[in-house]
């Protein structure tokens, strides 16, 4: 059995039996049969059906948001993830005709040469718990539009999300078997990948999980998309709009209790603004309300699991023991119970010798360091095994452009953070993973090129 232990009160909120081996094999077989027909459905019809399915998924957003609160702790006041789900799915639907259109090399009386995009066939999406709908839709919607069948494995912490997605796609009229939810443990997931019965896998999760999937796929020649860990930095320059930087970076660090793939986990501030930035940041965080996520007044819910909160507490304790200064008194947040409910924390006097500035925290904590200029900031931002996003705060776009060229990361923001633009390629480097979702390049990941070289006259 797979069980959802609710961070709200520690009880078993939901449970599902693992999908038996025979049913897994039947699911793969039926998905392949459905995909063979689906790929021949005109693109316009595929787009319309996927759009309809997304509409079905987002129709009951209030109930889904409450369900998410019980499963992973996000406050209901934020309404789930469905605004972003719609935005991303609509954009990918809009660009599909262009992204999937043939690349014409020559169309003459002598030759017709062109490259088409062919669906891989059967796509496995291994979804995360922190944004189970929002992250999954990045692959699910374009994979189906491109003519693939999709199997989704929801994270154990958010088991019920896969069912909601499957029900929405069935209600919208997608062919039977084309989109299915599977309940698998890690060993079974790896076994299916290793068997060669899947044509593409997209995984969002830990570095260890990504390594395990790569090992399972070894020798199958299967393409893989991986979004793994992150330790995303922000750099506040001396000409930044201080209030805007504080508000955005604190939101980027503490929204969803810091459990965001591209959340801000470390901040570097020019020495001329440093003291004022820290003062304003501390004041900002003291306004958060930690509590039951079902309460509409709550702005900071529990972490998704007690063990996640324990890791963050350990990083905080170690940093303080090594000389870091904690600016938030946990007693200001009486809901902190030593378990999943964890008070937010801002640390200064931190160094890159501390785990809190090197390892992924994925919780309501951020470290802030003083820097003397761009060179030091660039060096520190690149001093990480991860590379997902980096956030630059300045009024000088040329300066930001020059710094961006030096950063080892997948996305560079100027004067914003913790945002995923569906028109931009979502990708990472170093231990953050490889591959691409969203944008036209997302369609390239979910399809393969086929070249056509026709000589018209013999």
Domain assignment present for 426? no
**Which of 67, 81, 227, 360 is an active site residue?**
227
The string of pLDDT tens digits covering residues 31-40 is: 999 999 999 9
Average pLDDT over every residue of 363-383: 98
Residue 336 CB neighbour total at 10 angstroms: 18
Residues 403 and 448 in one domain: no
Measured distance CA(103)–CA(126) in Å, rounded: 31
The string of pLDDT tens digits covering residues 318-346 is: 999 999 999 999 999 999 999 999 999 99
Q: Considering the chain, what percentage of its residues have pLDDT values greater than 70?
A: 100
User: Domain containing 352: what range?
Assistant: 232-421
Residues 91 and 127 in one domain: yes
Measured distance CA(61)–CA(58) in Å, rounded: 5
Whole-number average pLDDT of the chain:
97
The domain that contains 158 carries what CATH number? Answer: 3.40.605.10
Residues 275 and 221 in one domain: no
**What confidence tier does 23 reach under pLDDT thresholds 50, 70, 90?**
very high
Average pLDDT over every residue of 200-228: 97
Residues 63 and 184 in one domain: yes
Contact 346, 269 (CB under 8 A): no
**Which of 261, 262, 417, 425 is an active site residue?**
261
Place of tokens 């095994």: 385
Residues 329 and 223 in one domain: no
Distances (CA, A) of 380 to 1, 11, 368: 44, 42, 12
Q: What is the pLDDT of residue 394?
A: 98
Domain assignment present for 153? yes
Domain assignment present for 448? yes
Count of structural domains within the chain: 2
Residues 133 and 240 in one domain: no
3-class secondary-structure state, position 35: helix
Q: What is the pTM of this model?
A: 0.96
Residues 150 and 266 in one domain: no
pLDDT at 458 over 90: no
Q: Considering the chain, what percentage of its residues have pLDDT values greater than 90?
A: 99
Residues 148 and 66 in one domain: yes
The string of pLDDT tens digits covering residues 135-173 is: 999 999 999 999 999 999 999 999 999 999 999 999 999
Domain assignment present for 358? yes
**What confidence tier does 356 reach under pLDDT thresholds 50, 70, 90?**
very high
Residues 205 and 59 in one domain: yes
Residues 245 and 218 in one domain: no
Measured distance CA(250)–CA(287) in Å, rounded: 11
Report the chain's terminal Cα–Cα distance, integer Å.
64
Q: What is the pLDDT of residue 206?
A: 95
pLDDT at 457 over 90: no
Domain assignment present for 367? yes
The domain that contains 335 carries what CATH number? Answer: 3.40.309.10
**What confidence tier does 378 reach under pLDDT thresholds 50, 70, 90?**
very high
Q: What is the pLDDT of residue 99?
A: 98
Residues 268 and 191 in one domain: no
The string of pLDDT tens digits covering residues 387-398 is: 999 999 999 999
For residue 261, indicate whether it is catalytic: yes
Domain assignment present for 427? no
Domain assignment present for 451? yes
Which tokens in the block code for residue 72? Answer: 């992973």
Residues 301 and 368 in one domain: yes
**What confidence tier does 79 reach under pLDDT thresholds 50, 70, 90?**
confident
Q: Can you give the length of the chain in residues?
A: 458
Average pLDDT over every residue of 200-222: 97
């Amino acid at each position: 059995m797979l069980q959802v232990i609710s961070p709200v009160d520690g009880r078993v909120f939901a449970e599902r039996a693992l999908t038996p081996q025979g049913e897994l094999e039947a699911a793969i077989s039926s998905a392949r049969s459905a995909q063979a027909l689906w790929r021949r459905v005109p693109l316009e019809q595929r787009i319309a059906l996927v759009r309809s399915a997304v509409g079905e998924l987002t129709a009951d957003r209030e109930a889904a948001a409450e369900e998410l609160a019980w499963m992973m702790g996000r406050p209901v006041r934020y309404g789930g993830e469905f605004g972003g789900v719609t935005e991303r799915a609509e954009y990918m639907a809009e660009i599909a005709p262009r992204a999937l259109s043939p690349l014409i090399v020559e169309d003459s009386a002598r030759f017709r040469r062109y490259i088409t995009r062919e669906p891989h066939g059967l796509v496995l999406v291994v979804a995360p718990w922190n944004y189970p709908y929002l992250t999954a839709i990045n692959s699910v919607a374009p994979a189906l539009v491109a003519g693939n069948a999709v199997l989704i494995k929801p994270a154990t912490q958010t088991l019920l999300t896969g069912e909601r997605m499957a029900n929405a796609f069935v209600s919208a009229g997608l062919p039977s078997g084309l989109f299915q939810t599977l309940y698998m443990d890690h060993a079974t997931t790896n076994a299916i990948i290793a068997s060669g019965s899947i044509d593409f896998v997209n995984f969002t999760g830990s570095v260890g999980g990504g390594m395990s999937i790569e090992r399972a796929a070894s020798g199958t020649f299967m393409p893989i998309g991986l979004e793994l860990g992150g330790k995303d930095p922000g750099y506040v320059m001396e000409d930044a709009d201080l209030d805007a930087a504080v508000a955005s970076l604190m939101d980027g660090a503490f929204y969803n209790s810091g459990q965001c793939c591209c959340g801000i986990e470390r901040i570097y501030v020019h020495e001329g603004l440093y003291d004022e930035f820290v003062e304003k940041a501390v004041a900002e965080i003291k306004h958060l309300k930690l509590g039951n996520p079902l309460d509409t007044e709550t702005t900071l819910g529990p972490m998704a699991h007690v063990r996640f909160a324990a890791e963050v507490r350990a990083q905080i304790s170690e940093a303080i023991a090594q000389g870091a200064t904690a600016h938030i008194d946990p007693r200001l947040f009486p809901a902190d119970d030593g378990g999943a409910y964890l008070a937010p924390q801002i640390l200064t006097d931190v160094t890159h010798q501390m785990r809190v500035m090197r390892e992924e925290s994925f919780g309501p904590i951020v470290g802030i360091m003083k820097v003397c200029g761009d060179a030091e900031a660039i060096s520190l931002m690149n001093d990480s095994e991860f590379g997902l996003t980096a956030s630059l705060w300045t009024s000088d776009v040329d300066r930001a452009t020059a710094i961006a060229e030096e950063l080892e990361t997948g996305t560079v923001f100027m004067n914003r953070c913790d945002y995923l633009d569906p028109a931009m390629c979502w990708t990472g480097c170093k231990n953050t993973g490889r591959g691409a979702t969203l944008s036209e390049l997302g369609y390239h990941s979910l399809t393969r090129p086929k070249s056509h070289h026709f000589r018209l006259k013999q």
